[in-house]
């Protein structure tokens, strides 16, 4: 199914939590079968440098609008 994703952004006292439901996705995802968790970090480059020093494998993306994204996995394999 194609269409627009539903996005909810919550202000957490300066931090942001973004929840995304993609078209065709179930209302309640199966355990361990979710896409990723998004965390806004105002000190992006500094935080990515810390990820690198920990030896965590990452994937960096710069979007056409200049937004920077960094994907990595938590110890249980969930994408962050």
Average pLDDT over residues 57-76: 85
Residue 38, judged by CB atoms within 10 A of its CB (0-12, 13-18, 19+), counts as middle
Position 72 confidence tier, pLDDT thresholds 50, 70, 90? confident
Residue 1 has a pLDDT of: 46
CB 15 within 8 A of CB 36: no
HSE (side-chain half, CA atoms, 13 Å) at 48: 13
CB within 8 Å of 80: residues ≥ 6 apart:
36, 37, 39, 71, 72, 73, 74
Average per-residue pLDDT for the chain: 76
The 10s digit of each residue's pLDDT in 14-47 is 777 777 777 766 555 555 555 667 777 888 899 8
Model confidence, pTM: 0.53
For the chain, the domains span 1-40, 41-80
């Amino acid at each position: 199914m194609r269409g627009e994703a539903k996005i909810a952004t919550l202000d957490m006292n300066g931090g942001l939590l973004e929840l995304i439901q993609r078209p065709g996705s179930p209302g309640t995802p199966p355990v361990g079968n979710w896409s990723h968790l998004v965390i806004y970090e105002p000190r992006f480059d500094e935080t990515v440098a810390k990820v690198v020093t920990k030896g965590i494998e990452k994937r960096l993306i710069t979007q056409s609008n200049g937004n920077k994204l960094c994907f990595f996995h938590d110890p249980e394999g969930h994408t962050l």
